Amino acid sequence: MSTSSETVGTSPETGVSASKESAPSASSEAVAGPPVRGTRLTLAGASLGRPGAPALDDVDLDIAPGEILTVVGPSGCGKSTLLRTLAGLLSPLAGEITQDGHPLTGPAADRALVFQEDALLPWRTLRANVELPLAIRGVPRSERRDQAQAWLERVGLGTQARQLPHRVSGGQRQRVQLARALAARPRAVLMDEPFGALDAQTRAGMQDLLVEVLHGTGATVVFVTHDVDEALFLGDRVALLGAGGLVAVRDVPRPRDRGAHDHPARLALRRDVLTSLGT
């Protein structure tokens, strides 16, 4: 798998600890800089996939700056293909894909791609892993150490900065991957089932953490998942993919609240999503 060195890798996740994670810090004062400006990603009549075998055909989709768009659909419907195309790793077979009105022609530092695999370099400490995209950008050593430490504190791992990845749980490694992606201050974060390998309790905690740390960043987020409930909790809108194309895009009722899962509007949307997916 070919990926950007600052946000992704190829080492698979091989297990998840069920131990309780430390609570994330709500403070973001030490995370340097004002919020980034989210980017608009637009697909117009786009066919995506490999020549002769498109996974998605004639897709029209406009992803607004700063929104969280979740993407659901059955296995093999093209969810990951959509994400990799938005990352610039695949070119469209037809149609047009733009970022802020300009053709999207390849990978860029302002679009971070996060996979289900934790993608951490095993020989680097947690803090050194978070520092990596900052080092690539040429941020001075002392400044990048401070920023990496601040992000680790924000995701609740400040006291474990010197640990190596194999010494912490799967959920903690995903926290580090999230911190590393956001430390680079991307305008878009593209997430391919990042919590799919986690147990239910850790997964719920990571969902809450994602919402908390994204608050105020300004980044546009496209989040692929198989889990309809996860899609409805995280998304401002949910895009439904079916065999060969985009089925529909639905607004998600707010406020975002786990206690509202049985609200009539949420239940109606959940039924609509499941019906559209044929489940």
pLDDT, tens digit (0-9, with 9 covering 90-100), for 41-83: 999 999 998 888 888 999 999 999 999 999 998 888 889 999 9
Give residue limits of the domains in the chain: 33-60+88-108, 114-218, 225-279
Residue 202 pLDDT grade (very low, low, confident, very high; cuts 50, 70, 90): confident
Residue 24 pLDDT grade (very low, low, confident, very high; cuts 50, 70, 90): very low
- Tell the burial category of 273 from Cβ atoms under 10 Å away from its Cβ (0-12, 13-18, 19+): buried
pLDDT over threshold 80, residue 144: yes
pLDDT over threshold 70, residue 3: no
Length, in residues, of the chain: 279
What CATH number should be reported for the domain whose range is 114-218?
3.40.50.300
Q: Identify whether the C-beta of residue 181 lies closer than 8 Å to the C-beta of residue 7.
A: yes
Interhelix angle 126-136/170-183, nearest 10 degrees? 20
pLDDT over threshold 50, residue 213: yes
Rounded to the nearest integer, the mean pLDDT of the chain is: 83
Q: Identify whether the C-beta of residue 37 lies closer than 8 Å to the C-beta of residue 110.
A: no
Name the token pair of 9: 């890798």
Q: State pLDDT tens for residues 31-40.
A: 556 667 889 9
Name the token pair of 232: 């409805």
- 77 versus 161: the higher-pLDDT residue is 161
User: How far is the CA of 138 from the CAs of 131, 141, 144, 179, 185, in angstroms?
Assistant: 11, 9, 9, 18, 14
Q: State pLDDT tens for residues 85-141.
A: 999 999 999 999 999 999 998 999 899 988 878 789 999 999 999 999 999 888 999
Name the token pair of 221: 């987020």
d(CA 183, CA 151): 7
- Using a cut of 0.95, tell me whether the model's pTM lies above it: no
Instruction: Give the mean pLDDT of 177-187.
Output: 90
